């Protein structure tokens, strides 16, 4: 078959005749064109294996030309190809031949799918480093120019990302050409290209000589920042950060600030949003003096913006902005300029704004100290704890630790309680779930007495919530509480209640008892587990509902390690043996598993035993699904 192999059939790895080691490679090559995308993808991901087998010369002369024209494929295949080619230098013969990789990457850099193009550009940037200075000018830079002057804007957008990697390594003549190309793309007809140029402006500025930054970049920056397209102007805000970082302080006022001021007051809310979103970066880039004089009023305006999206973005930055204010005037600026705006936001009409503020406002207490917090912030916290929107309350509660450090949580506890109770009973289960997750934290900060008095009932009530996720979280919560308050506390307060549920008429509640025992046994220790929990579990092995019985088997397996060996042998074993002869196949299965003690099961998946069957057979089948759901239904 050597007649098919073309002129380069002496690959290093290939044997001369009938070599079965070639077979897997042959399959991989053929599957580059398989109809099944997954197989093609698989072959592309093993492209290095193929290249290795072909040797460097055939890779260069046959494989790469083929790949250059394969741009018809699915995005995911092209994406994988673009990524592979970035690591291909050694496979084509080392840096000397790295330019052979340019044609396929060039064609990938012109496809319409942004992710593929970006990946091709990333790989091009990577291999540009492997070009010698000469190759860079002979091969790479012409490619950049071709892309930059391509007919389609896809190629021009890709060019924008390549200027900064070749600029530092080329001669000054070529440098001038590159600057010219970048200038042209900044005023391209299509907004796509101008956006690409705007997004790379900062990066390009970084590699330019300072003089050119001042002469070239600033004028491009100013032009892009006043582009007719909102989507271009807003990208200029990002560039503003990098450019401001590059310039000496004394130039900022004249070169950057006019544009930044204009952006902060742009007619389009999207641009102002971008300014708000990048405010901390901008603040660091322009330094303390400009911050004091310019950014403080700008920030105030953003906090009072007419568009809620902008106010929310600004509200998100309140803490960071305040933290980064120059220390000498920080408190004064916050108290006289920022706090009044913050006060207004607490009663904003938009819930996203309030909720954004609630997620950071507590952080101000560490900055302002105890007295200011008590006098000025506490009323705001309390107001937000009473907000009509659950997310606002939740955000306050989730950040309580900041306040705790400064003034102690007691100051808040009277308002905290109604807020927690209301969230605990919210109609949305996600809200209930969120508050449960903060319980251990709250318990730690409020102390055991307060908890027993006010919150314990809530925690127990969640155990019989009608949503499984809540019951599950409630179980987990109990475990964390026991870890915090100790076994003795558990024995007196929660264990009796949990065990009491074993007699509940609802089988779901009886199962909750088992889940709690699973979670608590370790934290409660051997004594409580053996003496109090075990008898209940064993008794439940006679439950009429199969789901309860197989969960007994699972529980016994789970708490086994905590029990003393006497109890294991004399009490647990007989029960498991009995369950192993149960009429229900699930019960049997789990009892046997528990006896052999080999399998560790995933977290409770009790309400449907689909999971169980899945793990047993390795894959779920329809029959099993049917069976298990019918069992559950008939028993419930």
Check binding of 4 to other proteins (CB under 8 A): yes
Q: Can you tell me which of 84, 110, 395, 399 binds other proteins, judged by CB under 8 A?
A: 110
Instruction: Work out how close the CB of 20 gets to other proteins at its nearest, in angstroms, rounded to a whole number.
Output: 5
Q: Can you tell me which of 86, 93, 191, 560 binds other proteins, judged by CB under 8 A?
A: 191
Residue number, 84 or 283, with CB nearest to other proteins: 84
Cβ–Cβ < 8 Å for 309, 275: no
Q: Can you tell me which of 268, 324, 411, 413 binds other proteins, judged by CB under 8 A?
A: 268
Task: Report the C-alpha gap between 401 and 375 in whole angstroms.
Answer: 19
Task: Report the C-alpha gap between 446 and 229 in whole angstroms.
Answer: 53
Task: Report the C-alpha gap between 152 and 148 in whole angstroms.
Answer: 10
Q: Which residue has the tokens 């971008």?
A: 274
Check binding of 598 to other proteins (CB under 8 A): no
Check binding of 441 to other proteins (CB under 8 A): no
Instruction: Work out how close the CB of 394 gets to other proteins at its nearest, in angstroms, rounded to a whole number.
Output: 23
Cβ–Cβ < 8 Å for 287, 326: no
Residue number, 86 or 191, with CB nearest to other proteins: 191
Check binding of 600 to other proteins (CB under 8 A): no
Residue number, 71 or 599, with CB nearest to other proteins: 71
Q: Which backbone phi and psi does 93 adopt, to 5 degrees?
A: 115, 15
Check binding of 231 to other proteins (CB under 8 A): yes
Check binding of 461 to other proteins (CB under 8 A): no
Q: Which stretch binds other proteins (CB under 8 A): 106-114, 198-206, 331-339, 471-479?
A: 106-114
Q: Which stretch binds other proteins (CB under 8 A): 5-13, 386-394, 525-533, 536-544?
A: 5-13
Exposure string over 127-166, b if 16+ CB within 10 A, otherwise e: bbebbeeebbbebbbebbbebbebeebbbbbbbbbbbbbb
Non-local (6+) Cβ contacts of 588 within 8 A are 579, 580, 581, 582
Size of the site for other proteins (CB under 8 A): 58
Q: Which residue has the tokens 């969230």?
A: 423
Q: Give which of 132, 6, 109, 1 is closest to 58, Cα–Cα.
A: 6
Q: What is the DSSP letter of 601?
A: P
Which two tokens mark 433? 């779930």
What is the number of alpha carbons within 13 Å of residue 257 lying toward its C-beta?
Answer: 17
Residue number, 58 or 510, with CB nearest to other proteins: 58
Cβ–Cβ < 8 Å for 294, 302: no
Instruction: Work out how close the CB of 385 gets to other proteins at its nearest, in angstroms, rounded to a whole number.
Output: 28
Check binding of 35 to other proteins (CB under 8 A): no
Residue number, 313 or 473, with CB nearest to other proteins: 313
Check binding of 18 to other proteins (CB under 8 A): yes
Q: Can you tell me which of 33, 410, 428, 623 binds other proteins, judged by CB under 8 A?
A: 33
Q: Which stretch binds other proteins (CB under 8 A): 266-274, 371-379, 496-504, 507-515?
A: 266-274
Check binding of 315 to other proteins (CB under 8 A): no
Q: Which stretch binds other proteins (CB under 8 A): 251-259, 300-308, 384-392, 460-468?
A: 300-308
Which two tokens mark 119? 């990946």
Non-local (6+) Cβ contacts of 49 within 8 A are 25, 28
Interface positions, 194-213, toward other proteins (CB under 8 A): 195
Check binding of 626 to other proteins (CB under 8 A): no
Task: Report the C-alpha gap between 159 and 148 in whole angstroms.
Answer: 5
Q: How far is CA 278 from CA 22, 207, 222, 238, 287, in A?
A: 55, 22, 18, 7, 14
Cβ–Cβ < 8 Å for 40, 32: yes
Residue number, 41 or 338, with CB nearest to other proteins: 41
Check binding of 571 to other proteins (CB under 8 A): no
Q: Can you tell me which of 52, 207, 308, 389 binds other proteins, judged by CB under 8 A?
A: 308
Q: Can you tell me which of 230, 422, 504, 571 binds other proteins, judged by CB under 8 A?
A: 230
Instruction: Work out how close the CB of 114 gets to other proteins at its nearest, in angstroms, rounded to a whole number.
Output: 6
Which two tokens mark 218? 């600033």
Q: Which stretch binds other proteins (CB under 8 A): 124-132, 210-218, 303-311, 545-553?
A: 303-311
Check binding of 30 to other proteins (CB under 8 A): yes
Collapsing DSSP to helix, strand or coil, 69 comes out as coil
Q: How far is CA 474 from CA 8, 130, 447, 480, 573, in A?
A: 69, 57, 19, 10, 30
Instruction: Work out how close the CB of 311 gets to other proteins at its nearest, in angstroms, rounded to a whole number.
Output: 11
Q: What is the DSSP letter of 70?
A: -
Check binding of 270 to other proteins (CB under 8 A): yes
Q: Which stretch binds other proteins (CB under 8 A): 187-195, 240-248, 437-445, 549-557?
A: 187-195
Q: Which stretch binds other proteins (CB under 8 A): 9-17, 162-170, 330-338, 410-418?
A: 9-17
Interface positions, 41-70, toward other proteins (CB under 8 A): 53-54, 58, 62-63, 65-66, 69-70
Check binding of 26 to other proteins (CB under 8 A): yes
Collapsing DSSP to helix, strand or coil, 581 comes out as coil
Check binding of 153 to other proteins (CB under 8 A): yes
Check binding of 22 to other proteins (CB under 8 A): yes
Task: Report the C-alpha gap between 428 and 19 in whole angstroms.
Answer: 66
Task: Report the C-alpha gap between 577 and 382 in whole angstroms.
Answer: 58
Task: Report the C-alpha gap between 476 and 483 in whole angstroms.
Answer: 11
Instruction: Work out how close the CB of 127 gets to other proteins at its nearest, in angstroms, rounded to a whole number.
Output: 21
What is the number of alpha carbons within 13 Å of residue 375 lying toward its C-beta?
Answer: 7
Residue number, 269 or 601, with CB nearest to other proteins: 269
Check binding of 15 to other proteins (CB under 8 A): yes
Helical segments of 399-506, H only: 400-407, 410-424, 429-446, 448-450, 456-462, 468-485, 487-493, 495-500
Query: What residues line the site for other proteins (CB under 8 A)?
Result: 1-2, 4-6, 9, 11, 14-20, 22-23, 25-27, 29-30, 32-33, 53-54, 58, 62-63, 65-66, 69-70, 72, 110-112, 114, 152-155, 190-192, 195, 228-231, 266-270, 306-309
């Amino acid at each position: 078959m050597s007649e098919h192999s073309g002129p380069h059939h002496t690959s290093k790895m290939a044997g001369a005749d009938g070599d079965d080691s070639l077979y897997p490679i042959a399959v991989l090559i053929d599957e580059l064109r398989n109809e099944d995308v997954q197989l093609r993808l698989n072959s592309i991901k093993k492209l290095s294996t193929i290249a290795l087998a072909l040797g460097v010369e055939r890779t260069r002369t046959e494989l790469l030309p083929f790949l250059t024209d394969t741009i018809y494929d699915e995005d995911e295949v092209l994406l994988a190809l673009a990524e592979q080619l970035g690591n291909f230098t050694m496979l084509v013969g080392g840096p000397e031949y790295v330019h052979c990789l340019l044609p396929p990457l060039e064609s990938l850099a012109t496809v319409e799918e942004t992710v593929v193009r970006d990946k091709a550009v990333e790989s091009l940037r990577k291999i540009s480093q492997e070009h010698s200075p000469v190759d860079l000018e002979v091969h790479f830079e012409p490619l950049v120019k071709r892309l930059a002057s391509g007919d389609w804007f896809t190629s021009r957008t890709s060019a924008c990302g390549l200027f900064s990697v070749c600029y530092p390594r080329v001669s000054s003549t070529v440098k001038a050409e590159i600057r010219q190309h970048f200038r042209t793309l900044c005023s391209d007809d299509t907004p796509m290209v101008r956006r690409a140029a705007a997004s790379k402006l900062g990066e390009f500025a970084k590699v330019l000589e300072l003089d050119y930054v001042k002469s070239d970049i600033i004028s491009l920056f100013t032009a892009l920042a006043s582009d007719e397209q909102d989507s271009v102007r807003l990208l200029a805000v990002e560039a503003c950060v990098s450019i401001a970082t590059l310039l000496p302080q004394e130039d900022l006022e004249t070169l950057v600030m006019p544009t930044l001021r204009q952006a902060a007051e742009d007619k389009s809310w999207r641009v102002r949003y971008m300014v708000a979103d990048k405010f901390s970066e901008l603040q660091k880039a322009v330094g303390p003096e400009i911050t004091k004089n310019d950014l403080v009023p700008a920030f105030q305006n953003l906090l009072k913006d007419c568009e809620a999206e902008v106010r929310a973005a600004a509200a998100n930055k309140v803490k960071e902005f305040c933290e980064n204010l120059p220390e000498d005037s920080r408190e004064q600026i916050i108290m006289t300029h920022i706090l009044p705006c913050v006060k207004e936001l607490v009663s904003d009409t938009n819930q996203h704004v309030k909720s954004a503020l609630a997620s950071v406002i507590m952080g101000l207490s560490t900055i302002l100290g105890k007295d200011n917090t008590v006098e000025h912030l506490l009323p705001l916290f309390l107001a937000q704890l009473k907000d009509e929107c659950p997310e606002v309350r939740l955000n306050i509660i989730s950040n309580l630790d900041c306040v705790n450090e400064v003034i102690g949580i007691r100051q808040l506890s009277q308002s905290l309680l109604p807020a927690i109770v209301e969230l605990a009973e919210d109609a949305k289960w996600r809200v209930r779930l969120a508050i449960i997750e903060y319980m251990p934290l709250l318990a730690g900060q409020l102390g055991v007495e307060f908890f027993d008095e006010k919150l314990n009932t809530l925690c127990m009530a969640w155990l019989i919530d009608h949503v499984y996720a809540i019951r599950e979280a409630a179980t987990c919560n109990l475990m964390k509480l026991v870890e915090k308050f100790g076994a003795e506390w558990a024995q007196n307060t929660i264990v009796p209640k949990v065990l009491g549920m074993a007699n509940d008429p609802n089988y779901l509640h009886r199962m909750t008892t088992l889940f709690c025992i699973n979670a608590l046994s370790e934290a409660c220790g051997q004594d409580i587990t053996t003496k109090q929990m075990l008898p209940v579990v064993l008794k439940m092995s006679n439950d009429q509902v199969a789901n309860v019985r197989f969960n007994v088997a699972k529980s016994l397996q789970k708490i086994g390690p905590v029990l003393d060996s006497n109890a294991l042998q004399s009490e647990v074993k007989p029960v498991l043996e009995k369950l192993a002869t149960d009429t229900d196949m699930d019960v049997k299965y789990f009892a046997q598993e528990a006896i052999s003690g080999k399998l560790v099961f995933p977290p409770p998946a009790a309400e449907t035993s689909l999971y169980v069957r899945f793990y047993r057979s390795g894959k779920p089948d329809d029959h099993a699904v049917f069976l298990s759901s019918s069992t559950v239904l008939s028993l419930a």
